[in-house]
Structure 1
Amino acid sequence: MMNTNDIVFALDIGTRVVVGIVATENNGKLEILASEQMEHQERAMFDGQVHDIDKVAHVILSIKEKLENTLKIKLREVAIAAAGRSLKTQFARAEKSLAEDHEITLEDIHSLELEALEIAHKSIVSKSGITDYHTVGYTVSNYYLNGLPIANLKGHRGKEMAVEILATFLPFDVVEGLYASVKKSGLEVSYITLEPIAAINVSLKPDIRMLNIALVDIGAGTSDIAISKEGNIIAYSMVPYAGDEISEEIARHFLTDFATAEKIKKSTKKEIKFKDVLGIEHTISREEVLEVIKPSVKTLAQKICEEIVKYNGKSPSAVFLVGGSSNLPMLPEEIASFLKLPPNRVSVRDIKSVEILHSRPKKLKGPESITPIGIAYSAMINKRKDFVKVYVEDKLVKIFNIKSPTVMDALLAIDYSSQNLIPQSGKDLTFTLNGEKMTIKGEEGIPPKIYVNGTLANLKTSIKEGDRISIIGGKKGKDAFITVRDLVKGAENKEIYVNGKLADPDYSIKEGDEIRVEDSIKSFSITVNGKEVLLKGKREYMFIDLFNFIDIKLDNNRVPEMKINGKKASYTDLLHPGDVIEII
């Protein structure tokens, strides 16, 4: 009997069909040992989501037993994928004011991105009312410095930085519905991914992902979209319109049940025979069917293209189609037309384009095989782990294992506030000095430190099963503090008024204080009888004070004649800089 530790059992639980694959690794490639597929007897799933757990579990169990009988093994674990229907994609922007002369660090940028993710999550929750989501991932759309776009914030200084992201989330209940169906069939989930990711893993080589490619997995209930650019998946989305809508149009037009409409849709014969719901037999041509479905196919193409442009911002370089309904006639041509692409830039990917296969099985041929093969391959290269379990401050956290998880993913899973990672600066001190508003900045705080297994880390540090994450709190900066003496040069020789009252030069300035500083001793020059005289030592001078600075002989019996700037003066007149004095 085969060792089940060396195999991967993968299920593609679709809206219409469930496909099961058992495979193993052979020199780094996927070798498929057996495959089975079965349609749901009744509509137990809608738009990629489980609605009747028992009915879905029955189909899974049937496929499981067939594969076990074929391979003479017992299957206990399975890899699955969640459909793109349930993905919630949200744009978000986060902004942060910067301290003067602060140089932006990577930690600042990562904290800002985490804040944007929190904003995106809150927005999704407010729209849907669902509170529990797995974070699938995010892509930075733009960075901004002082309101202007910038490629890289690191090392810059400014008043404000901002980031815009495109984040994707998956509701917990979608995952739980899949888990429940699998468990009822006697299996445990060993690995879970997303259908668009699974399809991309086998249909787009890493070097092709550098291009701007849209991959569309068109199933029965949904058309799942993933967009790649510069080596990364920048967006996921979906259209709740796919193959079922085409079948329903056929059923309406020819008055058939859904199963008959499906057969008519899939038939490639020139003449197609069927019975309508009244039991009347009909023979129609393939051309008649194409004419009936043409408007629905055009609508499907338009909806897919609008969603691609919405998240890509423009038409991509190419579009790859997978999934059973990608075989719909006229669909590639309609998509190329809407996106204004050459027809050869829209391609249906089938098993011939999959390079990770050791051999090509006979049962799996068309584009509908891409996703189940992708699930098996993704499970193989990710060691079949559905969730990565780590500890944050001794609290167990489960992280959805669809990409290489980081510290940021773990903190998001426990709703850790990004504000806790931002160093707290001391309070600024604002006051007025001689009527002019002044602000003294508080001291910058020391940021918290993140450790993974005792080693210094950051938000983007990769984590693995069993890792322990701890966060050592930072230190708040000191509040701004300054005395009048530190603020005003030569304050000891000046008169200091705080809020209208005379104060000491060592006074510690408080928030909102009004400071007025005046010279306590004035000195200036005047002219006396044609000679310059410097007055110093007092705040103000009367005419009589002048006699302390000049040597003049007066007749004791005569009152001198005194003038200031040509006008008669008295001993108590105040003197001013530049006055011309005459004493006769």
Structure 2
Amino acid sequence: MNSNDIIFALDIGTRVVVGIVGVGNNGKFSVLAVEQMEHENRVMFDGQVHDIDKVANVIVKIKEKLENSLNIKLREVCIAAAGRSLKTQLARAEKNIEEEHEITIEDINNLELEALEIAQNAVISQSGLTKYHTVGYTVSNYYLNGLPITNLKGHKGHEIAVEILATFLPYDVVEGLYAAVKNAGLEVSYITLEPIAAINVAIKPEIRMLNIALVDIGAGTSDIAISKEGNIIAYSMVPYAGDEITESIATHYLTDFNTAEKIKKSTKSEIKFKDILNIEHKVTRDEVVEVIMPQIKTLAQKICDEIVKYNGKSPSAVFLVGGSSNLPHLPEEIASILKLPVNRVSVRDAKSIEVLEYKGKKLKGPESITPIGIGYSAMINKRKDFIKVFVENEPVKIFNIKNPNVMDILLTINYDPKSLIAQKGKDLTFTLNGKSITIKGKDGTPSQIYVNNALANLKTPVKEGDKITIIKGIKGEDASLTARELLKQQKGGIIYVNNKRVNLDYEINDGDEVVIKEGMPSFTVTVNGKEVTLKGKEEYLFVDIFNFVDLKIENNKVPEMKLNGKRASYTDVLKPGDNIEIEI
């Protein structure tokens, strides 16, 4: 046996760790050996490692048993991050656009990136963590001017919006798994998500085009993955599962948790046990089922509510996996709530996996789906779990769950999506003689994205070692206007801004109230017997006459001035037809 062909898969569960060694065989996953072991204490909660050393001890024991049974040395392992650790967030992004602008793919991509940033910020705010891997997102709806639309490209309007369902995985979950595996003397060669691993073996590719919900019902949570049109469109989790059923038994019969767990799992028609008072009981299986039915109904309702929330309606079928999917009457309850035929809610086990080759007895129930799926997923996916790319020569590492693209990379480094948008200059809005006027700012220069020096966009795929370069867009010039420019457009007059007369160099500001009045009509006066026409001002004083007539006044000599035969002063106001006498 070639050691390079060996696939070692570990399902590191909250209570049980399952190890599988297998090889690929003509497209099937052939299992050579299986070992499983429970944690001695509660060292994991909801799929996240809390005590690295104790989890590592269990992994070491499983590893050594497998090595001894197969007479091989295991150095690499494939693992999965728990679906229950996923953070799923709905988000909406909106953007105002120019009505004459035709919506482009770049506009749509930038809008989606803004929605992703909003989703990530919401998850960070809710959890308190600051670092997340982006698993993926699905567009729920596009909107144009507030109304739903299938595709925004090529349309025109004043507002566009998008709603997305985004999924993130905390760094802590992955790093905890990596640390436990490393302490066990192993190196991670492949990582996936538990729901993806389960789907890979529970839902055949040829039926993945159908709308199917897979529910992994464990001890602490029920993880949900939904497929449609060949893709996984949503992940979610219900914090209600097998432990709630066990607790209802413990409460009813007054037992400790472990005894209640044995009662729940027993398939005997008559079950014997002792309560905490050491009183012996003998109950039938039907009596136990009657006790737990209210919790089973609650579990079914919660699962169905979550499926409809993210799928928008009942799916075509529901596949149940995980140890707690064996709960009595659970498939029937789910079928009833979703209004599906009972045969469309199916509990999947190892026998239903067509790509599995295995003759042993350790892998048989629905709890075996995920560990088999991890091994099979590693077999069909040879890519690395993380890839490293460079943004402006700085290395960036991203979780390789899906085919990553430029958008995923930029979200990982918290790149500001607004810097990618060709920002238009600020408009100038003011009122002119009571009417609102808007002068448009100039269009900006769009940003440019390059991958390995080739022009790209946000949806361009990236691979190990790619180099991403971003030339930021340049904002357009803000709209501007001077009083002089405005008067030229209005063919002269006198300009007032906010009730004050301004000079011609005044820059009109946003929100200004501008009034343009016609200039005072020109009029004629007589100066020393000659007619002189005054023009260019709203009001004229006697002193203004010296701007219209050529009179040479000797230094320090005060001329004698008369207005209409009376002695005049420099500040007298002139009127049409006035007779002016000036004696030097």
Shorter-chain TM-score bucket reads 0.7 to 0.9
> 1:466 corresponds to which residue?
465
- In the alignment, the residues of structure 1 paired with residue 519 and residue 316 of structure 2 have an alpha-carbon distance, to the nearest angstrom, of 74
**How much does 1:518 deviate?**
5.3
Map 1:86-485; keep pairs closer than 5 Å.
Answer: 86-277=85-276, 281-358=280-357, 362-383=361-382, 385-481=384-480
Q: CA deviation at 1:289?
A: 2.3
Residue number in structure 2 paired with 1:8:
7
Q: CA deviation at 1:272?
A: 3.0
CA shift in 2, pair 1:358/1:455, >3 Å: farther
Given that 2:76 and 2:189 are in contact with CA atoms closer than 8 Å, whether structure 1 keeps it comes out as yes
Give the letter aligned to residue 497 of structure 1: I
Aligned partners of 2:65, 2:224: CA distance in 1, in Å?
32
User: Could you list the per-position Cα deviations for residues 318-351 of structure 1 after superposition, in whole angstroms to 9, with x for gaps in the alignment?
Assistant: 2110111111111111111222222122111122
Q: Secondary structure at the match of 2:124?
A: helix
Q: Which runs of 5+ in 2 are unaligned?
A: 523-534, 537-575, 578-584
Q: Name the SS of the counterpart of 1:302 in structure 2.
A: helix
Partner AA of 2:516 in structure 1? R
Partner of 1:582: none
Q: What is the distance in 2 between the residues matched to 1:416 and 1:122? A: 13
SS at match of 1:121: helix
CA contact (8 A) 2:442 2:478 kept: yes
Tell me by how many angstroms 1:64 deviates.
Answer: 0.9
Deviations along 1:450-502, one digit per CA (max 9) or x if unpaired, are 1111111111111111111111122222333567898799866x546364759
**Equivalent pair of 1:431/1:515 in contact (CA under 8 Å):** no
Asked whether the equivalents of residues 217 and 326 of structure 1 are also in contact (C-alpha less than 8 Å), the reply is: yes
- Label 1:281 to 1:477 Cα distance change in 2 as closer, same or farther (>3 A): same
Partner SS for 1:167 = strand
- For 2:107, the aligned partner's letter is D
C-alpha distance in 2 between matches for 1:432 and 1:279: 89
CA shift digits 1:146-200 (9 cap, x unpaired): 1111111111111111111111222222222222222221112222222111111
In structure 1, give the amino acid aligned to 2:495.
Answer: Y
Residues in 2 aligned to 1:521 and 1:352: alpha-carbon distance in whole angstroms: 102
Per-residue CA deviation, residues 247-303 of structure 1 (Å, 9 max, x unaligned), is 333334344443343333222222334444555554432222222222222222122
After TM superposition, give the deviation of residue 373 of structure 1 in Å: 1.4
Distance in 1 of aligned mates of 2:521 and 2:507:
24
Q: Name the aligned partner's letter for residue 469 of structure 2.
A: S
Letter in 2 for 1:391: F
Aligned partners of 1:78 and 1:188 also within 8 Å: yes
Kept in 2, the 8 Å contact 1:47–1:240? The answer is no
Residue 210 of structure 1 aligns with an amino acid whose one-letter code is M
Matches within 5 A, 1:34-49: 34-49=33-48
Instruction: Tell me, yes or no, if the aligned pair for 2:349 and 2:368 is still in contact at 8 Å.
Output: yes
CA contact (8 A) 2:434 2:513 kept: no
Distance in 1 between the 2:412 and 2:114 partners?
A: 14
Q: Secondary structure of 2:443's partner? A: coil
SS of aligned partner of 1:210: coil
Aligned residues of 1:79 and 1:384 also touching (Cα < 8 A) = no
SS in 1 for 2:18: strand
Moved more, 322-331 or 374-383: 374-383
Deviation at 1:520, TM superposition (A): 11
What's the secondary structure of 1:470's corresponding residue?
A: strand
| Partner in structure 2 of residue 514 of structure 1 | 514
C-alpha displacement at 1:363, in angstroms? Answer: 2.8
Q: Which residue of 2 aligns with 1:25?
A: 24
Deviations 1:397-452 (A, max 9, x none): 11112111111111111111111111121221223344321112112112111111
Which digits, 9 at most, give the CA deviation of each residue in 1:530-580, with x for residues without a partner? xxxxxxxx99xxxxxxxxxxxxxxxxxxxxxxxxxxxxxxxx99xxxxxxx
Which deviates more, 253-262 or 23-32? 253-262
* CA displacement at 1:32 relative to structure 2: 2.1
Aligned partner of residue 34 in structure 2, secondary structure = strand
Q: In structure 2, what is the Cα distance between the partners aligned to 1:27 and 1:468? A: 37
CA distance in 2, matches of 1:183, 1:277: 41
* Structure 1 unmatched runs, 5+: 523-537, 540-571, 574-584
Pick which of 16-25 and 114-123 moved more: 16-25
Which residue number in structure 2 is paired with residue 532 of structure 1? none
Q: Indicate if the aligned counterparts of 2:427 and 2:479 stay in contact, CA closer than 8 A.
A: yes
Is the 1:134–1:413 Cα contact (8 Å) retained in structure 2?
A: yes
The count of aligned residue pairs is 523
Paired position in structure 1 for 2:495: 497
- 1:202-231 C-alpha deviation (Å, 9 max, x unpaired): 212334333322110011221101122333
Cα contact 2:32–2:358 (8 A) shared by 1 = no
- Conserved in 2, the CA contact under 8 Å of 1:17 and 1:37? yes
Q: Distance in 2 between matches of 1:220 and 1:384?
A: 31
State whether residues 485 and 491 of structure 1, in contact with CA within 8 Å, keep that contact through their aligned partners in structure 2: no
User: Cα distance 1:273–1:447, how it changes in 2: closer, same or farther (>3 A)?
Assistant: same
- SS at 2:425's partner residue? coil
Residue 515 (structure 1) shift: 5.6
2:220/2:243 contact within 8 Å kept: yes
1:490–1:474 distance in 2 versus 1, CA, 3 Å: closer
Change in Cα spacing, 1:362 to 1:514, as seen in structure 2 (3 Å) is same
CA contact (8 A) 1:91 1:164 kept: yes
How many percent identity over aligned positions?
A: 73
Q: Is the 8 A contact 1:218 1:243 kept in 2?
A: yes
Looking at structure 2, the residues matched to 144 and 359 of structure 1 have their Cα atoms a distance apart, in angstroms, of 51
TM-score (norm 1): 0.82
Task: Flag the 1:518–1:354 CA change in 2: closer, same or farther, 3 A.
Answer: farther
Distance of aligned partners of 1:408 and 1:360 in 2 relative to their CA distance in 1, 3 Å threshold: farther
* TM-score (structure 2 length as normaliser): 0.82
Matched letter for residue 340 of structure 1: K
Give the corresponding residue for 2:559: none
Q: Residues of 2 paired with 1:372 and 1:502: CA distance?
A: 80
Provide the secondary structure at the position in 2 that maps to 1:250.
helix
